Amino acid sequence: MAGRSFVQLPASERGPLPGAEPAGPVDGSQRAEITLILRRRAELPLDASGAPVRLTRAELEQRYGADPADAELAAGTLAGLGLEVTGQDAGSRRVTVAGTLSALAAAFGTELSLVTSQVPGSSQRVTHRYREGVLQLPAELDGVVVAVLGLDTRPQARKQSRLADPAAVAVSYTPPQVAGIYQFPAGTDGTGQTIGIIELGGGFSASDLDTYFSGLGVAVPSVTAQDVDGASNVPDQDPNGADGEVLLDIEVAGSVAPGSGLVVYFAPNTDQGFIDAVTTAVHATPTPAAVSISWGQSEDSWTAQARSALDAAIADGAALGVTVCVAAGDNGSSDGVTDGQPHVDFPASSPHALACGGTSLQADPATGVISSETVWNDGSSGGAGGGGVSDVFALPAWQASVGVPETASGSSGRGVPDVAGDADPNTGYQVLVDGKPAVIGGTSAVAPLWAALTARLAQATGGTFGLIQTQLYAGVAAGQAAPGFQDITTGSNGAYSAGPGWDACTGLGSPDGAALLARLTIATGDPGTAADGGAAVS
Strands across the sheet with 436-441, in order?
Answer: 162-163, 436-441, 429-433
CATH of the domain at 372: 3.40.50.200
What pLDDT score does 3 carry?
65
Q: What's the pLDDT at 529?
A: 35
For residues 100 and 245, state if they share a domain.
no
Which segments of the chain have a pLDDT < 70?
1-3, 380-381, 523-538
- Final residue in a domain of this structure, among 472, 495, 529: 472
Containing structural domain, residue 136: 6-149
pLDDT confidence of residue 4:
81
Residues with active-site annotation: 245, 249, 444
312-322 per-position pLDDT tens digit: 999 999 999 99
DSSP state of 184: P
110 and 185 in a single domain? The answer is no
Q: Each residue of 169-193: pLDDT tens digit?
A: 889 999 999 999 999 999 999 999 9
Residue 508 maps to a domain: no
What was the pLDDT predicted at 537? 29
Three-class secondary structure of residue 191 per DSSP: coil
The confidence score (pLDDT) of residue 534 equals: 34
Res 237: pLDDT: 85
Q: Determine how many CB atoms are found less than 10 A away from the CB of residue 61.
A: 19
Q: Which amino acid is at 151?
A: L
CA nearest to 194, candidates 217, 220, 223, 216:
223
The answer to whether the bond into 288 is cis (omega within 30° of 0) is no
Q: How far apart are CA 168 and CA 490, in angstroms?
A: 21
163 lies in the same domain as 221 = yes
- Decide which of 472, 500, 525 is a domain's last residue: 472
Decide if 492 is inside a domain: no
Number of domains in the chain: 2
For residue 502, give the DSSP letter.
Answer: S
* Together in a domain, 321 and 413: yes
